[in-house]
Chain A
Amino acid sequence: MRYRRGQRVRVAARRHEGHHRTPGYVKGKIGSVERVHASFTNPETRAYGADGLPKQPLYLVGFAQRDVWPDYRGGSGDRVYVDLFEHWLEDAE
């Protein structure tokens, strides 16, 4: 596990052809690791018939809503949480 709870991470903004589980609205955004889930088979290769190995670490990452949506009008403490695989995360500290 490369990241620990509380660490700030940036979601990679790279293009990716094909199935992946990283929603476009958090690409390029900075959040913090809320929870280290565990490692799971990789849906990006399983989606094409492979076994998904090696397993990839999965994290729960929290973002401030105001960082995600430029015109967000809700409370400043509002957050959105997304499960993200480690290979989509970059160090933002």
Chain B
Amino acid sequence: MERGVHDRGGWATQAPIDRSEHELADWELLTDALVGVLGHAGLMNVDELRRGIESMPPEEYERASYYERWLFSIETVLTEKGVLAAGELDARLGK
């Protein structure tokens, strides 16, 4: 049966599991806080967060870090809801 890229249990791999920890950067802490605020504001729930992460193109999912996936999902869901305009974040960041 076809499985999503996130549906990981039992995937055969020879690659070692990276168990290293890292100090969280400011943007990662802010991303975590942002999801909490969006939940309190009723703008986005944790299931929408998960769904947004699972909708990532598989190659991008593999490349992205934990909180990069969160950011992808936040932008996806908030753009769907019209809270963000398409391309608004990139425009503000001057990309």
Contacts and interface: CB of A to CB of B under 8 A. Distances in A.
For the residues of A in contact with B, the DSSP-based class is: loop
Interface size class of A (residues with CB under 8 A): 10 to 19
Interface residues of B, number: 13
A13 B1 contact: yes
Nearest to A52: B47
Given A15-B2, A19-B54, A24 B48 contact: no
Given A13-B1, A49-B81, A24 B47 contact: no
18 contacts: A13-B1, A15-B2, A19-B51, A23-B7, A24-B3, A24-B10, A25-B9, A43-B47, A46-B45, A46-B47, A46-B48, A47-B48, A47-B50, A47-B51, A48-B51, A49-B48, A52-B47, A68-B10
Given A23-B9, A24-B7, A48-B51, 14 more contacts: A15-B1, A19-B50, A19-B54, A23-B7, A24-B3, A24-B9, A27-B1, A46-B48, A47-B47, A47-B50, A47-B51, A49-B48, A68-B10, A69-B10
